[in-house]
Amino acid sequence: MSLSEDADPSEQRAASRPAAAATQPNRVTFNRLELNRILNLYGRMVADGEWRDYAIDFLKDRAVFSVYRRASEVPIYRIEKDPRLARKQGMYSVIAATGLILRRGHELERVLLVIDRKLAVV
């Protein structure tokens, strides 16, 4: 074995691994503040018994947070971040299960109000 005994074994494994992380395509993601706001809303709705499950998809062109009433159903809401629309209608949108865009805008906080208000009125 030509590697020194002082070397960390995890570094040895990382050095022998192909550079898959470097060749991974860029993906759109939610940052920590965005995800924190979405998960706070999700937690409140779970506590109220309205929502039961979620899924997060980081795609090449957009990030999607899907909310489910039951795990076997289609999502009742999709919260999407699409940076291509940042200078147009706004990169954030809330989409209903039917595909109808309930609200679109530049600020996540204001876009999420459509869900907060709708559940508060009912």
pLDDT digits (tens, 9 = 90+) for 2-20: 555 555 555 555 555 555 4
What's the CA gap between 100 and 75, in Å, rounded? 13
The total of structural domains in the chain comes to: 1
Mean pLDDT of the chain: 80
Please indicate, yes or no, if residue 17 is contained in any of the structural domains.
Answer: no
pLDDT of 33-72, one tens digit each? 999 999 999 998 888 888 888 999 998 989 999 999 876 6
Distance CA 114, CA 30 (A): 19
For residue 98, tell me if it sits in a domain: yes
C-beta separation of 105 from 113 below 8 A: no
* 13 belongs to a structural domain: no
Q: In terms of Cα–Cα distance, which of 117, 119, 85, 76 is closest to 104? A: 85
Nearest to 70 by CA among 43, 46, 38: 46
7 is a domain residue: no
